[in-house]
């Protein structure tokens, strides 16, 4: 009788452990029915550029989720970074191109600027990419003015 009770308790324990494992496994593997934003790189370094250059880089935004990804807004931390998105709505498994053009006029030295991408991804509603450049200013010509005056009088 005691032996039957031990076997019964061991069997119940095994069933409970297997059941708990299966429940935990199912919870872990259930993917949420939502979009997920994935960006090709978090930052891009243009390297050394001249003040009159307009370097361009394209970031790839991919939807790795299970619903359509909608990009609602893209904004830059300054007016020096112009952006153009190939598509606001990105279907499952598809990608869009975010083209960033940097205008370094008026800047000198190391510059870091952020671009914010707002979407309907519940895990990352505001993604960020950073552009970096070391701007070399263009030497400007120097003009020397004198305060000498020439009065030619009346010329007839």
Task: Tell me the per-residue pLDDT of 114-140, one tens digit each, with 9 for 90 and over.
Answer: 999 999 999 999 999 999 999 998 887
d(CA 28, CA 30): 6
- Residue 32 pLDDT exceeds 90: no
Is residue 151, in this structure, part of any structural domain at all? no
Structure tokens at 93: 């498994």
Residues 65, 128: one domain?
yes
What's the CATH number where 97 sits?
2.60.40.10
Give pLDDT, residue 15.
Answer: 85
Is residue 12, in this structure, part of any structural domain at all? yes
Residues 15, 92: one domain?
no
Any idea which of 13-27, 31-45, 141-155 has the lowest mean pLDDT? Answer: 141-155
Reported as a single tens digit per residue, the pLDDT across 17-27 is 887 777 776 65
Structural domain count, the chain = 2
Structure tokens at 152: 């030619």
Is residue 92, in this structure, part of any structural domain at all? yes
- Residue 42 pLDDT exceeds 70: yes
Give pLDDT, residue 28.
Answer: 53
Residues 91, 126: one domain?
yes
């Amino acid at each position: 009788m005691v032996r039957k009770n031990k076997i019964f308790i061991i069997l119940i324990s095994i069933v409970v452990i297997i059941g708990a494992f299966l429940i935990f496994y199912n919870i872990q593997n259930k993917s949420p029915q939502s979009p997920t934003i994935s960006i090709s790189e978090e930052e891009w370094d243009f390297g050394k550029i001249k003040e009159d250059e307009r370097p361009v880089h394209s970031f790839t935004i991919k939807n790795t989720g299970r619903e359509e990804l909608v990009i609602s807004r893209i904004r830059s931390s300054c007016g020096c970074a112009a952006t153009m998105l190939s598509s606001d709505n990105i279907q499952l498994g598809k990608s869009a191109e975010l083209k960033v053009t940097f205008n370094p006029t008026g800047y000198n030295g190391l510059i870091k600027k952020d671009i914010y991408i707002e979407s309907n991804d519940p895990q990352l509603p505001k993604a960020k990419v950073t552009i970096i450049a070391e701007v070399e200013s263009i030497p400007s010509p120097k003009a020397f003015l004198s305060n000498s005056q020439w009065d030619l009088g009346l010329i007839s």
